[in-house]
Amino acid sequence: MDQKYLGKVNSPEDLKKLNSEQVTGLCSEIRDFMLKTVSENGGHLASNLGAVELTVALHKVFSSPQDTIVFDVGHQCYTHKLLTGRYNEFTSLRKENGISGFMKPEESPHDPFITGHSSTSVSSAFGVCKANQLLCSNSCSVAVLGDGALTGGMVYEALNNVSKKDKHLIVVLNDNKMSISKNRGALSKHLSAIRTRRNYFKFKNSVERFLVKIPLIGHGLYTLAFKLKKTLKSMIYDSNIFESLGFYYMGPVDGHDIDRMTEIFTIAKDYGKPVLVHVKTIKGKGYIPAELAPGVYHGVSHFDPKFGVLSQDGTTFSKVFGDVLSDIAAKDNKVCAITAAMTDGTGLTRFASEFKDRFFDVGIAEEHAVTFSAALAKKGFKPVFAVYSTFLQRGYDQIIHDAAIAKLPLTLAVDRAGFVGSDGETHQGLFDVSFLSSVPGVTVYAPADYGELENMLRCRLKSPEGVAAIRYPRGGAEKIKETAVYSSDVYSVYGDGSTAVVTYGTLTAYALAAMKALETDGIRISVVKLNIVCPLTDDLINTLMSFDNILTFEEGILSGSVSEKIASLLLQRGYKGTFKINAVTGFVKQASVSSQQKQFCLDKESMIRQVKEVTKLEH
């Protein structure tokens, strides 16, 4: 692909040398290159296409990395990566050993923080602002967040903490879906345009300085003028929460007009108080299919740009969960579904359509979702909160404080459990078993295939007690032996060898395949499949005590793992055999799921190899 401008922009300083016509050409090249790369690698497309001009304008005005620019979540940072020296690496986006789809400081000094979860940017930018004040630095701190981030409470905690004295803090609100401050009439639009021009600020500051300098009555006149201005504004504009919180509100402004944004960002940069710039953009800008269906093109896998994203008809754990829950809800009017801005991702589209009064999308607010669900349970309903494992981390306190202590029947459908592949460190679902199993009274189910997921969900919702989680991975399931069917047992044993492979969830398929392969070499093992990984029962530990060798394979973090808990209980009973743990240590970088499993010895071949090593020691 011929790049007349993009290939020559190695830093924001190179961007600043381009004229208006060249910048327009650059934006077009960015969109083309971004579409080509994301269609091949997968990634977040619509939001990034909509933020091209916005990002270009930011880098024309501010001087990164001296000025800190924090992109909330990272769904809008692809243009930022291209403008900050990563053009030649961009084709490796989201691939193993490639660049991340999110901001990542180890990649570039232009990425100040890792940003994989929503609603954190204002807190980070404000912290930098305060640090700059302590260092007597005039560098600016900029937070760029989408309107969806405003459904997360952390944003308001940060905004509320800012004072009018915190200059050089700029919050850029990229509004590509909802109207934050709805202005009325031509007069309002005209005044909005006036209030965002540089001459207005020069005149305003001159008047303020003049009034204050008048002897005796100056401060009184200034206060009177300020109150009068505020009253007139409230008559013309709708109430603006940002100005109530101490920010100077600018906008809304066309987020695809680079010259206009450049002018406004320059004003905001030089303004002596915190500023919020409200930018209106079109999600999917420049690629018609994404403009018409931005939700479909939010996060995509490989597709052909000529034909667009084709419908995904394949069965997944998420789809099975959503269909089974809908079937249950059709016969039980106490069943409710809750999601945190992940209706499609968690498979709840059908439920949302068929049971509107019992479906609740609370926005990006996992803490609220847990407590809200617990309250529904208190009133006799059967709430099921469907949430990605990585985002459930945000609701840990609420699980303990608002649900578990009171023993309320809350069901957590934990999606994307285990490795998630190319999303990298911030999204791996590796911590849920460790933190959930540490809470007294919590039960954690681990289905190995679709049939088990359905059976576990039905059994759980028949007469729910206490907090329970049903965890399952992203995507589909490998078919396991027909004999490995879920019952009400806490665990199941397959085979009759003296060496036990202990595992749960979808790793069961690998374990059973390894058992069959080892039989051809004359090695007999047993597979101990945990249907419920928490709590562990005395009966399970008694069974494990009978094996000469135990190898555990767990797609979760080692610290606090089921494997560690089993080891502790066996040790207390004086177990003398060989015990080896295979679990995850450290944060896991982006790669394919199969590569991640192989890295931590959780694949079929690793199971076979380790069993042979252990049994060889016996002879």
pLDDT tens sequence across 151-161: 999 999 999 99
367-391 burial code (b ≥16 CB/10 A, e <16)? bbbbbbbbebbeeebbbbbbbbbbb
SS3 574: coil
List C-alpha distances in Å: 206 to 192, 212, 222, 273: 20, 10, 12, 16
Tell me whether residue 306 is one of the annotated catalytic residues: no
Look at residue 191 and tell me whether its pLDDT is greater than 50: no
Phi, psi angles (nearest 5°) of residue 135: -90, 0
- In terms of DSSP H, where are the helices of 135-184? 153-161
* Assigned token pair, 28: 């077009």
Rounded CA-CA distance 564/557 in Å is 10
Average pLDDT in the 298-310 region?
87
Marked catalytic residue, from 283, 416, 471, 529: 283
In the block, tokens 């204002």 appear at: 122
Kindly state the DSSP code that residue 62 receives in the 8-state scheme: S
CB distance 329 to 337 below 8 Å? yes
**Of 536, 531, 567, 546, which Cα lies nearest the Cα of 497?**
546
Instruction: Please tell me whether the peptide bond between 305 and the residue prior to it is cis, using omega within 30 degrees of 0.
Output: no
Task: Measure CA 484 to chain center.
Answer: 34
Tell me whether residue 366 is one of the annotated catalytic residues: yes
| Confidence (pLDDT) at 190 | 41
Tell me whether residue 283 is one of the annotated catalytic residues: yes
| Confidence (pLDDT) at 233 | 53
Rounded CA-CA distance 352/149 in Å is 22
| Confidence (pLDDT) at 616 | 80
Average pLDDT in the 587-607 region?
96
Judged by average pLDDT, the poorest of 179-183, 209-213, 422-426 is 179-183
| Confidence (pLDDT) at 310 | 72
The residue with greater pLDDT, 428 or 187, is 428
Phi, psi angles (nearest 5°) of residue 384: -125, 110
Average pLDDT in the 528-555 region?
97
Return mean pLDDT, the chain.
89
| Confidence (pLDDT) at 184 | 38
Rounded CA-CA distance 237/147 in Å is 20
Marked catalytic residue, from 394, 416, 529, 604: 394
Look at residue 427 and tell me whether its pLDDT is greater than 80: yes
CB distance 112 to 80 below 8 Å? no
pTM (2 d.p.) = 0.88
Marked catalytic residue, from 29, 366, 452, 564: 366
The residue with greater pLDDT, 199 or 25, is 25
The residue with greater pLDDT, 180 or 388, is 388
